[in-house]
């Protein structure tokens, strides 16, 4: 038999306050925005699911996900200020 594995002590992870996402309570989407967002989300989910079934891949790579997004018509827009 081989040597027994040593257990490594896992340090407790403390959240980095700089990386904490602060949400503005006034930034709730309007009803119309939420409807459009959910329609786009459903379209994306369906496209991913169809790709997974066609390619028999449970987890597409990020490159494949990017290709799916492009096939749905998403393009990079102008840079934000």
The domain segmentation of the chain, as residue ranges, is: 48-75
Query: Is pLDDT at 32 greater than 80 in this prediction?
Result: no
Summarize the confidence of residues 31-57 as an average pLDDT: 88
State the angle between helix axes of 31-55 and 62-71 in degrees (0 to 180), rounded to the nearest 10: 120
Residue 79's pLDDT band (boundaries 50, 70, 90)? confident
Q: What is the DSSP letter of 56?
A: T
Rounded to two decimals, the pTM is 0.53
Summarize the confidence of residues 27-44 as an average pLDDT: 79
Query: Is pLDDT at 31 greater than 50 in this prediction?
Result: yes
Summarize the confidence of residues 52-81 as an average pLDDT: 93
**Backbone torsion region of residue 36, taken as left when φ is above 0, otherwise alpha when ψ lies between -120 and 50, otherwise beta:** alpha
């Amino acid at each position: 038999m081989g040597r027994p594995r040593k257990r490594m002590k896992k340090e407790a992870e403390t959240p980095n306050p700089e990386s904490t996402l602060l949400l503005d309570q006034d930034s709730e989407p309007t009803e119309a925005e939420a409807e459009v967002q959910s329609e786009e989300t459903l379209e994306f989910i369906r496209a991913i699911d169809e790709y997974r079934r066609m390619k028999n891949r449970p987890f597409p790579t990020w490159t494949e996900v990017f290709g799916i997004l492009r096939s749905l018509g998403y393009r990079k827009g102008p840079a934000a200020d």
